Chains A and B, each alone.
Chain A
Amino acid sequence: MTGPADAALLAAVAIGSVRGSAALGAARWPRRSPGAAILLWQALGLAGGLAAVGALIEIGVPPDATSVANGVTRVASAAASGRLFAAGQPALPVFLRLVSLVMGLALLARLCSVLIASSALVIRARRRQRALLALLARGDPKAPGALVVDHPAAAAYCLPGLRSRIVVSVGALDLLRPAELAAVLAHERAHLRERHDLVVLPFTALRRAFGWSRICANAHQSVALLIEMLADDRALRARPARALAGALARFGTAGCIGNAPAGALAVSGAPYEGEMAARVTRIMTPAPPLAYAVRLSILCAATVIVVVPVAVLLLPN
């Protein structure tokens, strides 16, 4: 394939990823098989980013470059020796190509830097939490395997990482019945065991970097909810549905947890249908998961979505 055809294909993949994300965000089936849907989100995100960067760079390199790397090297060496604008050649196309190339490289740098910055932020916040927990938390026979913090507000969360922790507040211990607490702990253990935090991290980073983008906000919100549903499903393998749904409902009705002002809730809460209510409904009246064949085709689709831009970028022209 030639450079312009590559660029067109990559642009098509980028636009397709955006369209696909919008459709996936609006679809109802993901909550039936959250694992498959998360895989598709990851594929769309990766392909979209690669294709957007790739398309800009492909447009930016000379049309007769044998590969992306070759093209970028040629432009860079031409720029270094001041021969970028050759005499007798129209300057405008060269200039536009250069703009595209710079934009592509800048986008790539931005994507990498937000991921690194986000990870650093998360690591620092977790280190602070671990240090605070070491000072303040205690074990409690009521919550085996968890740390307990003396505070009347109800909270239950996990601190992922190599030295992971599950934390519940005294408020949560008072709020929940023993079976419900066991279900909550099973849910959190599923998060830790399957490193769900690593799944959400890139989407959080994207949202931080492109906060103005509805697609990024949607993707992050969808993936965060699907991860919770996935952990709910794992907890349901060992714990009764009524215990898990009861715990969720109780947290919700303890309501305005920590007496947050309404404004703070409106900001942190979801703008669309309540996620907590959706989880409870889903646990109590479960829809059957997608058929095996359907999930297999989602896996194939996710693979193709990622392989196409990678192949276009790596294969020589």
Chain B
Amino acid sequence: MDVLWGTGASLTVREVSAQLTERDLAHTTVMTVLDRLAKKGFARRERDGRAWRYRPSATREAYVTELMLTALEQTGDRSAALARFAKSVSGAEASALRGALDEIEGGGGG
């Protein structure tokens, strides 16, 4: 997927393999992976003669944003799919926590 993100254009399986030189993967392995990415909707593919050309459906940043929005509970969805360590807090609570943090750090030099 990083290879697809790295180039702007759409790539064939052979071109992706060529860029994965350090990992010495079989052609069919790369094909399978790309096929799976396409099935999951992460990559789009189109016919180019006898080969498929693959390109990412969205940028890496877009996916990171999606991941983080869910993680930060800002999608308005309370499905409890995740368990977050911390909740977002109001301004008043943030200052209360700042006081607590000073106390915690003051108590022994952190």
Contact = CB atoms under 8 A, between A and B. Distances in A.
Interface of A: 118, 121-122, 125-126, 129, 131-133, 135-136, 149-151, 153-160, 167, 169, 177, 184, 187-188, 191, 196-197, 200-201, 204, 207-208, 224, 227, 231, 242, 245-253, 255-258, 260, 262, 264-270, 274-277, 280-281, 284
Most chain B C-beta atoms within 10 Å of own C-beta, residue among A136, A249, A250, A260: A249
B74 A258 contact: yes
A125 B77 contact: yes
B35 to A, nearest CB: 15
B105 A276 contact: no
A287 B35 CA distance: 56
B18 interface: no
Contacts of A248: 85-86, 97
A258 B92 CA distance: 17
B47 interface: no
Contacts of B84: 155-157
A276 B60 contact: no
B76 A274 contact: no
**Chain B, interface residues (CB within 8 Å), range:** 35 or more
B68 A151 contact: yes
Interface of B: 1, 40, 42, 60, 63-64, 66-68, 70-74, 76-94, 96-98, 100-101, 103-105, 107-108, 110
A104 to B, nearest CB: 28
B82 A252 contact: no
Contact of A135 (B42, B74, B79, B86): B42
B92 A274 contact: yes
12 contacts: A126-B81, A126-B82, A154-B86, A157-B71, A177-B110, A184-B85, A251-B85, A252-B98, A256-B94, A257-B72, A265-B90, A269-B90
B68 to A, nearest CB: 5
Given A136-B64, A253-B97, A246 B79 contact: no
Contact of B89 (A133, A158, A160, A274): A274
Contact of B83 (A121, A160, A250): A160
B100 A280 contact: yes
B107 A200 contact: no
Contacts of A264: 74, 88
A208 B100 contact: no
A184 B83 CA distance: 12
B41 to A, nearest CB: 9
Given A136-B60, A277-B97, A268 B68 contact: no
Given A136-B60, A196-B83, A265 B88 contact: yes
